[in-house]
Amino acid sequence: MAKRKLSQQQRRRIRERERERITRPSPVEGESSGETGLIIAHHGKQVELEDARGERHRCHLRANLDQLVAGDRVLWQPGSKNEHGVVVAVEPRHSELRRPDPYGRLKPLAANVDRLLVVLAPVPAASSLLVDRYLVAAELSAIEPVLVFNKADLLDEPQTREAADRLRRLYTEIGYDFLEVSASTGQGIEPLQHALEGHTGVLAGQSGVGKSALVNALLPEAQLPTGSVSDTGLGQHTTTAARLFHLPGSGDLIDSPGVREFGLWHISEEELLRGYRDLAPLATECRFRNCSHRHEPGCALHAAVEEGRIDPQRMENFFRIADTLDPGKRQKY
Ligand SMILES: Nc1nc2c(ncn2[C@@H]2O[C@H](COP(=O)(O)OP(=O)(O)OP(=O)(O)O)[C@@H](O)[C@H]2O)c(=O)[nH]1
Ligand SMILES: [Mg+2]
Ligand SMILES: [Zn+2]
């Protein structure tokens, strides 16, 4: 059964790629001769790519190319016998999720995605501050976020149930999708699959929330290792590199390594506000055009919180993130 599905899927993809190739007049930056390919993962200086027939190849990169990531669409030239191919050019990305690496340098994590699955769980405990950081990144990259609360099978205790419900209320009131799922029992996996149909999603969230387990639930053939180590609190990550998977049906999903923090220091306070889809429209209604929303009278944001139209948690998180922005990017008061 799984085999048949896969070959149908491959056929569909070949048709898609062929169509793309015909209708796309050399859209690639740099050189233009070569076959089209999709980056599945990058390993150091090499990448794994999928060709138009669905076959995988290891390739080197032309020296002038920036780092490629899962989801990138490229042109490449096959190597001669037993040799790696070479990627010669990359298509401009229509979207890009970036995050700082451990050295604080901003790195792309996934390209050409249109859904960000922010995975939460009762363990490790979900924090709205981390959720907000992901939401801001998604909003600024024009990627539609979906909150995925995993390990729903662990919500028996009234306390954990209440914490999950609180997050659901907080985010659904703003208009975000919130799915309660369990990679272990299969609860909510079908709605998750529907949410990804025809889209390319990327999984994000703390280490140990079950991102790879969700890939396995959606695509049992993936057989990804999932970590018990993370559960012990040692802070180790099970997944070490982002990787793209084709889901049954239509839709792609990129698994990514977990992070403890999702830094946003590189954005300005103005951008941060734009990333808060509930707060941003209110800012134009403040009495003072250059309102800092901190101490001025007639601040529409504070009025909305007092009247119960905005959750105070969102405002608090906004200011907490604002305090971590690069000093040069903060608003001066
Ligand atoms: N009870 C329960 N445990 C789960 C569920 N999903 C995942 N887990 C467990 O959570 C642990 C972490 O799962 P992973 O899928 O490795 O987590 P991850 O988010 O991919 O972690 P990193 O790769 O380190 O970022 C494993 O022990 C899983 O078995 C679930 O729905 N219910
Ligand atoms: Mg993982
Ligand atoms: Zn204001």
Average pLDDT, integer, range 127-151: 96
Residues with CB under 6 A from ligand 1: 150-151, 153-154, 182-184, 207-213, 226-228, 230-231, 237-239, 257-258
Report whether pLDDT(238) > 90. no
Question: Is residue 74 within 8 Å of residue 51, measured between CB atoms?
Answer: no
Average pLDDT over residues 181-194: 97
Q: Chain-wide mean pLDDT for the chain?
A: 88
- How far is the C-alpha of 235 from the C-alpha of 19, rounded, in Å? 45
Q: For residues 191-207, give the mean pLDDT.
A: 96
Tell me the pTM.
Answer: 0.88
Question: For the domain bounded by 96-255, which CATH number is listed?
Answer: 3.40.50.300
Ligand 1 atom nearest the C-alpha of 216 is 15
235 pLDDT more than 90: no
> Rounded to an integer, what distance in angstroms lies between the CA atom of residue 5 and that of residue 77?
29
Q: Cα-atom radius of gyration of the chain, to the nearest Å?
A: 22
pLDDT score recorded for residue 176:
98
Tens-digit pLDDT profile for residues 58-111: 999 998 888 899 999 999 999 888 789 999 999 999 999 988 776 778 889 999
Q: Which of 156, 209, 226 to mutate to test the pocket of ligand 1 (most atoms within 8 A of CB)?
A: 226
pLDDT number for residue 98: 87
pLDDT of residue 18: 52
For residues 103-125, average pLDDT: 92
> Where do you find CATH 3.40.50.300 in the chain?
96-255
Atom of ligand 1 nearest to the CA of 255: 20
Burial class from Cβ neighbours inside 10 Å (0-12, 13-18, 19+) for residue 255 reads buried
Q: How many CB atoms lie within 10 A of CB 257?
A: 16
What is the C-alpha to C-alpha distance for residues 244 and 242, in angstroms, rounded to an integer?
Answer: 7
Which atom of ligand 1 is found nearest the CA of 207?
25
Q: How far is the CA of 237 from the centre of ligand 2 (A)?
A: 7
Decide which of 230 and 300 is more confident. 300
Between 268 and 21, the more confident residue is 268
CATH no. of 24-90: 2.40.50.140
* More confident position, 1 or 146: 146
- CA-nearest residue for atom 29, ligand 1, is 226
Does residue 32 register a pLDDT over 60? no
CB-based contact 114:296 (threshold 8 Å):
no
Tell me the pLDDT band of 15, cut-offs 50, 70 and 90.
low
Give ranges for CATH 2.40.50.140 in the chain. Answer: 24-90
227 contacts 236 by C-beta, under 8 angstroms? yes
Mutate to test the pocket of ligand 1, among 123, 134, 228, 238 (most ligand atoms within 8 A of CB): 238
Positions of CATH 1.10.40.50 in the chain = 269-329
- CATH among 3.40.50.620, 1.20.1250.20, 3.10.580.10, 1.10.40.50 for 269-329: 1.10.40.50
- Residue 229: its pLDDT value, please? 47
Ligand nearest to the CA of 257: 1
The pLDDT of residue 26 is 46
More confident residue, 225 or 177: 177
For residue 2, pLDDT beyond 60 = no
Smallest Cα–Cα separation from 42: which of 17, 78, 72? 72
